[in-house]
A = this chain, B = another copy of it.
Amino acid sequence: MSRLLPFICKRTLRPKRLIQVLTPNVCMLPNSTKFSTKSPKNIYLVDDTDNENHGPQRNSNIYTYRTYTCTELRRENVGERVTLCGWLEFQRMNKFLVIRDGYGHTQLLIKDQDVETQLLVKTLPYESVIKVTGTVLTRPEGMINKNQETGEVEVLIETFEVLNKANDNLPFNIREYQKAKEALRMKFRYIDLRFEGMQRNMRVRSDLLMAMRTYLVNECNFVDVETPTLFKATPGGAQEFIVPTRFPGQFYSLVQSPQQFKQMLMAGAIDRYFQIARCYRDEGSRSDRQPEFTQLDIEMSFTDCKGVMNLVEELLQYSWPSILKPLPRRFPQITYKEAMEKYGTDKPDLRFHFHLQNCTVACKKLATTDNFAAYYILFEEPHVHLSTSIKQKLKRLSQNYPKAKFIQSKITNWKDWFLRMSGVFGEESCDILRQLIHAKGNSVLFLAYGDWKHVVSLLGTCRLEYVEHVEAQGIKVKDDSFHPVWVTDFPLFEEGENANGLQSNHHPFTAPHPEDVGLLQTEPLKARSLAYDLVLNGNEIAGGSIRIHDSRQQKFIFDLLNIDDQKMTYMLEMLASGCPPHGGIALGLDRLLATMLNTPSIRDVIAFPKTFEGRDPITGAPSPINEHDKKLYSIDISNKSS
């Protein structure tokens, strides 16, 4: 096992002035490229730096009765009397043992004459917890293991103590990571956490959070404020969990984000706020979502879009683990409109090209509405793999976009294809199309036309699915680096079900774009907002906006959205009490970590995740309540099901 620690953010220890903060890779996790075979490796840097000179080391042993962790002993320790504690991972010939802890492994040696320990070890189940005192020896020349941190030494046992015997037949073996299915790993998470990969995920998570806090507090003077999670239901919010109280019929809601509290903090002169906040959302069963999740929540007064975006870029630069490939110096920006046009999504994955191409001009004869558009994506050799199965899958997916007509073709003879297409588009259109598409050889082409939003969204899905398919054929398409991108200029509203046909695209506190304030009265769906999302490799990892600070404008927006002012009086009063202009952002830390560490699921970066159904796999929670609770909270269970 590699030495996972110290994953010390240098800057935490030796802060420099802000001007230097932008240097990438300030966090050091030395030698950590040697992760377990299952770990995806391509995001890690290969040329890792030496780990001996990174300033003061963290002391992992103070306050315990061990003298070293199982990863710390080196040739320099030879002759020292040491105490190690950990799990018995392996034994050979009742003589050579491997002790493991969360940091690494050390080889132990039982003396030939120590028959008692030999007998003890013979029947001691693996994963029993032991405490060993002994002397550090150099391993014989042929036995040195260059791949192990402690591979040059072993410990000759003097005293051997079993601290806690493990059961035989644990549900899975720590040496066979690959063999445990996720359901079993989740049920016995306390065993699963012993694996190197999970240790890395938990420790990287902790260090990332610490580095973020260090930047925000020590460099930028942000104030960490804890806000309540038991709150009032937000009108027009997504599904919130409710919590009954001893007041009959009255409930708290669990907050979806500290949005309103952080805005109140701005009015309260805590002008640089952050919090690593627990948030709650009841979305029922949705893959790779959790009912509770963590976000880095940030808000600033007297700032603008650029201020918040710069902060987030520099924060990520500062806290980015050095074992990972670096982030670009500055993150590109793209408008919502442009992202939809080029990538068919507001979460563009910039690890590969294959943009959508506009061919509306060629198909305009088919136009029936103002929104009509036609787009295509072209794949040429070596990306030509349109099998029946992927074709069927894409056809199925296209049914989610009923206002778009979808054509997918594997083309070997372009002349034939244009001939066929002239039946659909007419000859004139086909001529224009021919001029637009320059391909000659074998190609795969996806083309869609109809309602603009359906067309681009369908081709955006197509783009992702087809590239996955091509990569599954062993053809590398995606770049291994990190590709962050800001998406800006979102529409303020989208079509909704209220009387005005509107709903917030982000939330009702988002400020409209100053250039589009005039549109709010006339064509609100065309008004842009001052919202921005940060997308990393196709995952939305942060979203924020400049907020409304004018009480009258906020009231106007509530009215447009049919939100009852009476329920939001406190927000309007807050804005009118002397509230500075302000804006902020929230980073989804679970998603960010999963993207950083390239894990298959966000569950891999959460210590105790729920299943996709929302169940706790260890205890089976949720569970029925007793009569006492029903009485205390004045609730009955009804049979009406939703």
Residue numbers of A with Cβ under 8 A of B are 5-6, 8, 12-18, 55-56, 58-60, 62-66, 85, 87, 100-102, 127-129, 131, 163-164, 166-167, 170, 188-194, 198-199, 202-203, 205-207, 209-210, 213-214, 217-221, 223-233, 239, 241-254, 261, 264-265, 267-272, 278, 280, 282, 284, 291-292, 294, 300-304, 307-308, 310-311, 549-550, 570, 573-581, 606-608, 610, 614, 616, 618-625, 629-642
Contacts and interface: CB of A to CB of B under 8 A. Distances in A.
B616 A232 contact: yes
A610 to B, nearest CB: 7
Given A64-B302, A232-B621, A102 B269 contact: yes
30 contacts: A15-B55, A18-B59, A58-B220, A58-B221, A60-B220, A64-B301, A65-B304, A65-B307, A66-B302, A87-B269, A101-B269, A170-B578, A188-B577, A190-B268, A205-B225, A210-B213, A210-B224, A227-B608, A230-B280, A231-B619, A233-B621, A242-B625, A243-B243, A246-B284, A250-B623, A251-B625, A252-B622, A264-B618, A634-B638, A635-B635
B167 A268 contact: no
A225 B252 contact: no
Given A85-B302, A267-B191, A577-B190, A634 B631 contact: no
B242 A633 contact: yes
Contacts of A304: 65
Contact of A242 (B8, B229, B243, B248): B243
A219 B102 contact: no
B622 A251 contact: yes
A47 to B, nearest CB: 26
A239 B631 CA distance: 13
Contacts of A188: 573, 577
Which 10 A-B residue pairs are closest in the complex by CB-CB distance? A193-B268, A232-B621, A58-B221, A166-B578, A127-B578, A102-B269, A250-B622, A63-B307, A190-B267, A190-B264
Contact of A224 (B5, B206, B269, B629): B206
A194 to B, nearest CB: 5
B578 A129 contact: yes
A15 B214 CA distance: 13
Contact of A580 (B164, B231, B247, B302): B164
Contact of A270 (B102, B239, B249, B269): B102
A220 B62 contact: yes
Given A60-B221, A164-B549, A218-B8, A302 B202 contact: no
Q: Taking the full assembly, how many copies of this chain does it contain?
A: 2
Contacts of A549: 163-164
Given A550-B164, A581-B164, A268 B192 contact: yes
Given A63-B310, A243-B254, A300-B63, A189 B230 contact: no
Contacts of A607: 225-227, 261, 265, 268, 270
A101 B202 CA distance: 39
B614 A245 contact: yes
B63 A220 contact: yes
B190 A226 contact: no
A504 B465 CA distance: 57
B634 A191 contact: no
Contact of A639 (B13, B610, B634): B634
A191 B265 CA distance: 9
Contacts of A127: 577-578
A621 to B, nearest CB: 4
B625 A634 contact: no
Contact of A619 (B16, B199, B232, B239): B232
Q: Which of A85, A205, A231, A252 has the most CB of B within 10 A?
A: A252
Contacts of A223: 202-203, 206
Given A5-B221, A250-B624, A578-B164, A193 B634 contact: no
A444 B225 CA distance: 47
Contacts of A226: 278, 294, 606-607
Contact of A63 (B59, B308, B579): B308
A249 B635 CA distance: 10
A550 B188 CA distance: 18
Contacts of A270: 102, 193, 199, 202, 607
Nearest to A188: B577
Nearest to A266: B190
Given A13-B218, A65-B303, A631-B638, 16 more contacts: A12-B218, A58-B218, A58-B221, A60-B272, A164-B575, A193-B265, A205-B224, A210-B217, A242-B243, A242-B244, A242-B625, A246-B642, A251-B625, A265-B607, A570-B619, A634-B638
A248 B637 contact: yes
A167 B639 CA distance: 50
A638 B642 contact: no
A449 to B, nearest CB: 39
Contacts of A570: 618-619
A441 to B, nearest CB: 51
Contacts of A291: 230
Nearest to A630: B638
Centre residue among A5, A56, A230, A310 by max chain B CB count within 10 A? A230
B642 A231 contact: no
Contacts of A621: 230-233, 252-253
Nearest to A570: B618
A251 B302 contact: no
A228 B608 contact: yes
A230 B18 CA distance: 40
A453 to B, nearest CB: 28
A322 to B, nearest CB: 16
Contacts of A268: 189-194, 198, 607
Contact of A581 (B163, B209, B308): B163
B6 A221 contact: yes
Nearest to A308: B63
